[in-house]
């Protein structure tokens, strides 16, 4: 192993580097892309390991019945470099050949992508669709990422000091590293202790049901034991095999992604024998990708941040008109809400009382821009989108739903809106990064105290919170009442009558976010607290 600054291999199922590279689904991938970009900016020796998905996760549009439908496209990329390396991964009864491509856009922090689209593979389409198909294919994809990723790095001659598993999808890399130690006659227990010194793990999902588990029957059928015995695999992940528990037992350090998530994760996993304490390293976003230059310059030079924001707002309004044929009013307070559509995020909470919200919309006190997409199999999330589309039709010119949610729409809205709304059921948001992007553009957050916001919020100074961190079975009614109170009593009056105070809050928001919630700060924490 190397000395000095550790060389890190960052494993993730998805990487959101750019909207034109369709190998990401959402926040997990955007985070991974932002970390690689931060490593590039700071000259750190990091490589990314992911999968070259040939189909995108899904593009989602609205049909004539206001229902979202999924559209899949197969992509080819002429900017990837063929490394000439092919490794094999034993899946079921086939030695699956895996080709390795290299994305060199970030120099010292390249991304290596694994690909099974080879003519002599029976299972050629295993890297076809991100998070697609059934349990068997998911396990196969995780074996390709983990086992194939380790073998690819070794075939490329890349010496690795730290293997960083971003979520639990890569835990088979740990199994492969143990297997390699055991081929040298190292006992399993010693091999595990040795391998642990070179693995760190980031856990994300604060919901027990969201943490992946598999039966040993299917793992054995898939050949996932990778040469280890059933008893040894049970020691890692239990029975059934919990991917998160395995990640905890395989790593020397584990982190949660916000302070609040740290409390939740430690409570969730406190009974895991052989696990470790869970540190907290709050997520951050890549300033160069998400913060507009005009905002950064206006803030740093104490220039006209309102003029810079107004130009971005006009650009957003122009783009919305081009997309939807609706022209919003530049002078009306514009609230943005764009993220994955899943029930706990409550995309339609603000519309709960039509009398209150209807008056605000009809009287042009506010206008609302929404976007997002649901998991292809999440019928609840899709039903929420249908509801939002129909609400937009009720309030033409005041509510807009943008279909085809992607990085480009996310970037536009987190720069052009005035307020960024976030209202997940507490404590189900592990971190949430869209609000960070908005904050560093001077778009003021209006949010429940979940995810990252409890660490950042100075109420009335750099944004607003509502509900005071309330948790309970009646949280919908409590949260919406508090939301309306803060919106009508503080947010709207400040926007309409106290422009100087609003601009002061914009500066405070930017100042709060642009380092504390940056990917550069996050990466610094990783090197100091996880990789050392």
- What's the average model confidence in pLDDT over 143-161? 98
Percent of the chain exceeding pLDDT 70 equals 99
Amino acid 470: pLDDT: 93
DSSP assignment of 338-363 equals: ES---GGG-TTGGGS-HHHHHHHHHT
**Phi, psi (degrees; rounded to nearest 5) at 168:** -90, 0
Amino acid 162: pLDDT: 98
- The per-type count for the chain, helices as H runs and strands as E runs, is 21, 19
Amino acid 209: pLDDT: 66
Please provide the distance, in angstroms rounded to a whole number, between the alpha carbons at the two ends of the chain.
13
Residue 426 near residue 471 (C-beta atoms within 8 A): yes
- What's the average model confidence in pLDDT over 389-393? 97
CA atoms within 13 A on the CB side of 79: 10
Q: What is the pTM of this model?
A: 0.96
Fold (CATH) for 287-516: Rossmann fold (3.40.50)
Amino acid 211: pLDDT: 86
Q: Where are the domains of the chain?
A: 8-46+133-284+521-531, 287-516
DSSP assignment of 246-311 equals: HHHHH-SEEEESSHHHHHHHHHHTTT-TT---EEE----B-HHHHS-HHHHHHHHTT--HHHHHHH
Could you report the per-residue pLDDT of 170-209, keeping only the tens digit for each? Answer: 999 999 999 999 999 999 999 999 999 999 999 998 877 6
Amino acid 3: pLDDT: 52
Whole-angstrom distance, CA of residue 219 vs CA of residue 250: 18
Whole-angstrom distance, CA of residue 349 vs CA of residue 425: 11
Q: Which residues contact 255 (CB under 8 A, 6 or more apart)?
A: 200, 201, 202, 203, 262, 278, 279, 280, 281, 526, 529, 530
Could you report the per-residue pLDDT of 397-436, keeping only the tens digit for each? Answer: 999 999 999 999 999 999 999 999 999 999 999 999 999 9
- What's the average model confidence in pLDDT over 329-337? 98
- Helices 243-250 and 171-182: angle between axes, nearest 10 degrees: 50
For residue 154, give both structure tokens.
Answer: 């070794």
Could you report the per-residue pLDDT of 347-366, keeping only the tens digit for each? Answer: 999 999 999 999 999 999 99
pLDDT tops 60 at residue 2: no
Amino acid 271: pLDDT: 84
- What's the average model confidence in pLDDT over 202-218? 89
Could you report the per-residue pLDDT of 97-108, keeping only the tens digit for each? Answer: 999 999 998 999
Give the chain's length.
532
Residue 261 near residue 279 (C-beta atoms within 8 A): no
Confidence tier at 461 by pLDDT (50, 70, 90): very high
Topology alike, domains 8-46+133-284+521-531 and 287-516: yes
Could you report the per-residue pLDDT of 466-520, keeping only the tens digit for each? Answer: 999 999 889 999 999 999 999 999 999 999 999 999 999 999 999 999 999 999 9
Amino acid 1: pLDDT: 40
> What is the pLDDT of the chain when averaged over all its residues?
95
Fold (CATH) for 8-46+133-284+521-531: Rossmann fold (3.40.50)
């Amino acid at each position: 192993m190397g000395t000095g600054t550790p060389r890190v291999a960052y494993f993730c199922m998805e990487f959101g580097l750019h909207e034109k590279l369709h190998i990401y689904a959402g926040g997990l991938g955007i985070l991974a892309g932002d970390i690689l970009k931060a490593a590039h900016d700071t000259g750190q020796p990091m490589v990314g390991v992911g999968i070259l998905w040939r189909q995108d996760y899904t593009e989602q549009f609205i049909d004539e019945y206001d229902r979202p439908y999924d559209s899949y496209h197969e992509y080819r990329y002429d900017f990837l470099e063929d490394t000439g390396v092919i490794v094999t991964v034993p899946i079921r009864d086939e030695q699956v050949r895996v080709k390795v491509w290299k994305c060199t856009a970030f120099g010292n922090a390249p991304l290596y992508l694994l690909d099974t689209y080879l003519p002599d593979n029976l299972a050629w389409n295993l890297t076809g669709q991100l998070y697609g198909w059934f349990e068997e294919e998911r396990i196969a994809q995780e074996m390709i990422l983990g086992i194939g990723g380790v073998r690819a790095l070794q075939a490329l001659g890349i010496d690795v000091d730290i293997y960083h598993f971003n979520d639990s999808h890569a835990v088979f890399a740990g199994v492969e590293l143990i297997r390699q130690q055991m081929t040298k006659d190292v006992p399993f227990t010693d091999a595990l202790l040795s391998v642990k010194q070179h693995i760190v793990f980031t856990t994300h999902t604060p919901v027990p049901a969201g943490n992946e588990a598999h039966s040993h029957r299917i793992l054995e059928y898939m050949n996932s034991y990778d040469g280890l015995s059933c008893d040894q695999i049970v020691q890692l992940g239990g029975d059934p095999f919990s991917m998160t528990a395995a990640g905890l037992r395989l790593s020397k350090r584990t982190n949660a992604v916000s302070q609040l998530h740290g409390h939740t994760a430690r409570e969730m996993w406190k009974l895991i024998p052989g696990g470790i304490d869970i540190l907290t390293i709050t997520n951050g976003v890549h300033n160069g990708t998400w913060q507009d230059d005009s905002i950064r310059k206006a803030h740093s030079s104490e220039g006209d941040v309102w003029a810079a924001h107004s130009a971005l707002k006009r650009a957003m309004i122009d783009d919305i008109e081009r997309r939807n044929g609706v022209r919003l009013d530049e002078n009306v307070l514009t609230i943005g809400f764009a993220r994955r559509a899943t029930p706990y995020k409550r995309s339609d909470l603000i519309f709960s009382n039509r009398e209150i919200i209807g008056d605000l919309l009809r009287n042009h006190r506010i206008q609302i821009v929404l976007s997002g997409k649901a998991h292809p199999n999440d019928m609840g999330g899709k039903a929420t989108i249908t509801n939002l589309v129909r609400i937009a039709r009720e309030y033409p010119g005041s509510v807009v739903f943008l279909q085809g949610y992607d990085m480009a729409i996310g970037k536009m809205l987190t720069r052009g809106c005035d307020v960024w709304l976030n209202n997940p059921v507490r404590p189900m948001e592990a971190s949430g990064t869209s609000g960070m992007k908005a904050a560093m553009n001077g778009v003021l957050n209006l949010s429940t105290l979940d995810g990252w916001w409890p660490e950042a919020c100075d109420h009335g100074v750099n944004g607003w919170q509502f509900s005071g961190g309330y948790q309970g079975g009646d949280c919908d009614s409590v949260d919406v009442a508090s939301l309306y109170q803060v919106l009508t009593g503080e947010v709207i009056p400040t926007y309409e009558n106290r422009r100087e105070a609003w601009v002061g809050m914009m500066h405070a928001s930017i100042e709060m976010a642009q380092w504390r919630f940056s990917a550069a700060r996050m990466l610094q924490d990783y090197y100091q607290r996880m990789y050392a």
